[in-house]
A and B are shown apart, each in its own frame.
Chain A
Amino acid sequence: MQNPAPANDLETEEKAAIDRQPSLLFRALDSDVVASFVRSKLTIAAAVVTVAFLLLAIFAGVVSPQNPFDPAELDLFNSRLPPIWADLGTAPYLLGTDEQGRDLFSAIAYGLRISLAVGFLGVLLAAGIGITLGLLAGYLGGIVDTVVMRVADVQLTFPAILIALLVDGVAKSVLGGQLDEGTILVVLVLAIGLSFWVQYARTVRGSVMVEKNKDYIAAAKLIGLPAPVIMARHVLPNVMGPVLVIATINLALAVITEATLSFLGSGMPETMPSLGTLIRIGNNYLFSGEWWIVAFPGIALAMLVLAINLLGDWLRDALNPKLR
């Protein structure tokens, strides 16, 4: 039997040619972005903290000694225990317990899950709305541009938290009465999404205005591609850099907004607390010596937001050719 040698040789040669090129992973690791990441110790620390919080949130069910959302696992008898290193500290309540006997470490882990989920989904929604409107405004121009940008201008005159409170209030009065936790989550995501889209829209519109006059767009138009395809396949990928930076910084803002809403009492209920709700609960014990109830959720929130912000700053610098 004879093998079809020539064909085989060709394949080997092609393979070899591919092997000689650096792999995608290698190319990614070799990029400027990674280089600037490795150079900055602060950024590495921020990334470590962010990843740690993400893991804590994802594996909350595994690492927590208690499910703080299940009232059957709370025991008033274990309420107001101080952190484990203090005099009356009791295992397994690492960071102490609150008024209801809720383990604070578990509550923070589960609360992070809610805060981050609301943050991510809120940012996704905001980016979705903002990018779509920005693309349309920038590419189509004219009346669409005017309307979208004026609406954006008007919304920019309000602080985002006010818009979020407004959305939250309207949703609650429309839906009425007793909302279950799932609905409240959706309302929070909506409130955050609807209050943060403006930045995306404005940034994307600006980038689109620049890109749409370039030759490759003209070429795409010439070969008869329809406008939606040009927008999605050709313009969008070239304006994603700034969007990524905004999204990162916005994630921190969204987490803060969720915490603020919950702190003000219009977010997650006390039976299913997010970080903001935990801080609100703890706030009542500021004077009575039970400092840990407010301190640990507060520290967790501050660390998370700071870390994400640092990552966002680094990403902005790394993606900005002018700053190199």
Chain B
Amino acid sequence: MTHRTSVLALASAALLGATALGAQAATLRYANQGDLKSLDPYTLNETTANAHLGHVYEGLTKRGKDLAIEPGLAESWEILDDGKRWRFKLREGVTFQNGNPFTADDVLFSADRVRASGSNFQTRVPADATFVKIDDHTVDVVLQTPNPILNAQWDTWYIMDQEWAQEFGAEMPTPASAETPSHAALNANGTGPFSITVHEPGIRTVFTANPTWWDEPEHNLDEIVFTPIASDATRVAALLSGEVDVIEPVPVQDIERVRASDRADVLTGPELRTIFLGFDQDRDELLYSNVEGENPFKDVRVREAFMRAIDADLIRDRVMRGLSTPSALMIAPELFAHSDEFERPAYDPERARELLAEAGYPDGFEVGMDCPNDRYVNDEAICQGVVSMLARVGVTVNLNAQPKAQYFAKVLKSGGYDTSFYLLGWTPGTFDSHNVLNDLHGCRAEGSPRGETNLGGYCNEAVDELIEQILVESDEEKRNDLIKQAYEITTGEFAYVPLHQQALAWGVADGVELVQRADNQVLLYWARKGD
């Protein structure tokens, strides 16, 4: 080896070392079409918000890359007393980001807070469950009735620090409709792999790696900078120009364009979310309609007419550019074994007009529709398509499309279910039909464990009874049969108009590796950049 080559080798070794260092000081820049409004983990049960906050907060359980339940803040758990008592062993040595230790008191506090008024996660924890502190790191959950899937959704029931919440007067959850944010809505103090160091709603949120995290990080990031970019074209431009590393979603019209670029690629896959339309079938008179003294949506013929007036195939072909699967059920086919036994009622505008006439609305009627415009893939375009399809059967729909912050504040429970007709998407938190039936189809009443996101107030006691049985039935065959019975009732009554399952589409810059989970949670604590 000559002197010159050894110098060269040294220099390249130094260079390599420098790049390695550079790779370690990595900032991942991520843009989503919607904003992160509140940092309070109980404000909004929505996939994007849950994913954001999942970097900071943790639940007693977690879900892995394949969506399987794994231990989180609870190391282990066992079921006692025939399923009426669950014992959770909490992880020791875990601290919140402010330095406070994580103990059983925090779990008890979080259990009360998540069920308090203003929370959007009230059905996460059964109302009649009692939490008992056995010692600092053991908690028992005592139930009135057995619940074999008690912790199935606890990956997004994030545990908060009792002392921190009390210190800053944030004992009560921040409702989505809140005008003045509480301390917990503007700051976060979790146990997770990242902490939030900057939060400017509508501008950016900076997540900084938490050096005191109890687990070994899989990512190689120092910080994540999240920026909301509502405009489709701007978001794609930011990815293609290298301004951001990850975008969600890639607008369906631009997937080919991003694939063709040499700087970024698109990760696609089927999503477990069902996009659907819902009706207010609870009020005696609609809030936004020209029909007075009665509610047309109480009539099953009107609901069927809406179903038949909407051509889901056309929406798939034109609005979604082929990237959606029209759905007969309110759950993705991957999540229910008997899905193929249900068929979407055929598009039939003639029949729709007849049904409206039979129901006493031969000239149709007028109704207001609520629609988000930055939540789901092409949400506003879908709503406009629905408006024009309904116009052709004589129903005049006044579309109110707005950003999800305003939309959710209006239509959810905390906003008083202030809607007559709306578009919403739903991924069951348990990846199971029980959640779909319980949260979207169960009768809602004060203190009821059911119907939290049943914005239209659909109610059938037979379905409620089936939901109870499904919850405790452990034989899979029988359970599926009960689920099928429930869906037969709800689809027969046209409780909702399911539209489709959308496709996942994440834009990822070259050199960034991500794990894409089918529930569309963008979890960057599995991301690696530059290696």
Contacts and interface: CB of A to CB of B under 8 A. Distances in A.
A270 B388 CA distance: 12
Interface stretch (A17-25, A74-82, A240-248, A297-305): A74-82
**A interface majority secondary structure:** loop
Contacts of A74: 384, 388, 391
Interface residues of A, number: 27
Given A72-B392, A76-B318, 6 more contacts: A75-B388, A76-B389, A99-B381, A271-B384, A285-B253, A287-B236
Given A80-B318, A177-B410, A287-B237, A269 B385 contact: no
A284 B231 contact: yes
A70 B410 CA distance: 27
Given A77-B314, A283-B231, A283-B233, A72 B319 contact: no
Contact of B318 (A73, A79, A285, A287): A79
Nearest to B378: A99
Interface in B397-430: 397-401, 410
Interface of B: 231-233, 236-237, 240, 251, 253-254, 256-257, 288, 311, 314-315, 318-319, 368, 380-381, 384-385, 387-392, 397-401, 410
Contact of B288 (A99, A178, A270, A284): A178
**B interface majority secondary structure:** helix
Contacts of B389: 76
A76 B237 contact: no
A282 to B, nearest CB: 9
Contacts of A70: 391
Nearest to A79: B318
Nearest to B406: A177
16 contacts: A72-B388, A72-B392, A73-B388, A74-B388, A75-B388, A76-B314, A76-B318, A76-B389, A100-B384, A177-B410, A269-B399, A270-B401, A287-B237, A287-B240, A288-B253, A290-B253
A270 B368 contact: no
B21 to A, nearest CB: 36
B254 A287 contact: yes
B177 to A, nearest CB: 12
A274 to B, nearest CB: 16
B401 A284 contact: no
Contact of A270 (B237, B251, B384, B410): B384
Contacts of B319: 76, 79, 99
A71 B398 contact: no
A11 interface: no
A283 B254 CA distance: 12
A79 B288 CA distance: 29
Contacts of A38: none
A290 B256 CA distance: 13
A18 to B, nearest CB: 59
